[in-house]
Structure 1
Amino acid sequence: MGKICCILDSDESFAVRICACFNKKHVLPFSVQAFSDMDAYMSCAQNNEVELLIVDESLYEEARHVPAGQIIRLCEQPMLMEGEADACIVKFQASDSIIRDVLGVYTGRLMPAACAKTADKAEIVCIYSPNGYCGKTTLSLALAHIKGRERKVLYINLEEFSALGTAAGNLSDVLYYYHVNSKMCGGKIMSLISTGNGFDYIPPAACAKDIPDTDAETIIGLTEAVILSGGYEMVIIDVGSLVKEPWKLLEYSDKILIPSPDSPHRQRRVKEFEKFMYTSGYGDTMEKVCMVDIVGDDSVFRDGSINYACLAGSVYAKAVGSIDV
């Protein structure tokens, strides 16, 4: 018998919709199934271990007698009555909000042992440059898109102004949840992760001040927490210029990609960076650096955004293909 999560609601379309959202986001370490019929649910419960039951309040009294690791009720007006031990959350809200609330109740059970990967098995790739406007973010996204075909990849952008847009759940929210409870934040953070173009990503910070106000140790701890909860095989970190002590983040990584400088002035910046690293005790870290030759390729852009359909034959794809990651 395998562990499962069951959503039980007399409104079949509602149950199926919420179930699809959970399975799409992969925020739970087991499959989610939807039921609108009590008999069908009981039959499933006899053959599987129901780790989590999310049930409409109209079916709660009948369903609560069927063994389940934890029960969460879907209610119009959540309140815990005397003698009731099972948590309740608002039913009529956005799907992402339901997922967030469910994980808020359940997150203490999201243990690393349930994940396919552990933090020490995931590959951490930092994209960094002491130069601005050098193709760093485009290289990062190309790497995430191409490697996402083979592995489960997460992209994290640490630029204060990324021009990538943001979302209701973004890096600012992720940092907040991590600061509130770093040991039990995995579930909440996973509910904020978006998916697109072949890889997962945390939408960039909504507040630029969150980047310089966050130290490298926090970014590293956050990365570890996300890897453990999401089972990621590769994390690509786009390191911005305002990241505090970025060399600590580079030291943590397995590979560092730096776009090759295309002018004497940019070359001097890279030389100064290299000198600092060697004289500051980060010589071993510099052994992980790979300079990437990229030339601007306008064919990968459309209306100011990356056209992922054109990445395959671009100079970025060729550059990524030549890197041992």
Structure 2
Amino acid sequence: MNGAFNSPGDISSGVAEQAVSWLVEMQEGPLSPRRQHAWEHWLQAHSEHQRAWEHIQRINQRLRGLSSPLAHAALNAPQSRSRRQALKLLLLLGAGSALTYGLRDQLPITPLMADYSSPVGQRRKLHLQDGSQIHLNTASAVDVRFDAQRRVIRLLEGEMLLTAAQDARPLQVLTDHGSVQPQVARLNVRQFADRTELAVFDGQVALAPTAHSGSPLRVSAHQQLRFNRQAWTTPRPLDASSGAWADGILVAAHMRLGDFLAELGRYRRGQLNCDPKVADLLISGTYPVDDSERVLDLLAVSLPVRVKRFTRYWVTVEAKA
């Protein structure tokens, strides 16, 4: 999308949203005589309404020319609340990359609007134009913005393993909690609601939390740490489990069962619960993230627990009777 999608400055956001609502309603089927009259009354009530209506129709026509899966789904899917919401987001946020980029932090549309994303239970490899590679973990999303001056990768949610290539342009990796500037490096970045976890396998990176006013922290190869918007923890040696997900492996070394199931649950849809009575049991080993059902069966054999499946999407690990 480009700047031509931007709404004129003399159209307020409230009127623009009213125009979108009318258009969405019309696309769901013919208006009743009462609603037709209401639309005509709204349209003639103010010249701003007319400008907004003409503008939103132009945006709608351009969206129909896009090959985006989101645009296709929103414009062509059967009537539903999710379709209506997706179309409204497309029309309102189809306004150009700068507006959309800023609103992503405020609206729950990350997977829909991200440049690249991976669904629950799947991993995805990306090859970028500068030669860098990104490996997305389950339920993850990134934006990539490269221009003549710089390279920016924003981790919107989830986790990624980045192999940064040599390039004259500086590279910046952004999360909700700060920025990481690698040179030629290989690093793992995972974003949580309250923190970001960073592991550096090769090379060196500079870390700058969002609200930290001091000098960036230099993080060397074979180190990992956590940081939030204000500070970072002391770097420590890499764990054996760091980055193992890229090979489809979940590594547990004396890990609490509750924590293990929380990790395993990232790779499957639905709810994977742990009974507090068994949450502190310790588990060690390597487990395939692509076969969580098999892993659950193994737990029932190796630990004093049983797996209670109410449905495929609601599973609880509890104490064995």
Common topology (TM > 0.5): no
| More strand, by proportion | 2
Q: TM-score range by the shorter chain?
A: 0.3 to 0.5
| More helix, by proportion | 1
Taking structure 2 as the reference length, the TM-score comes to 0.32
Q: More relative contact order in 1 or in 2 (CA 8 Å, sep 6+)?
A: 1
Taking structure 1 as the reference length, the TM-score comes to 0.32
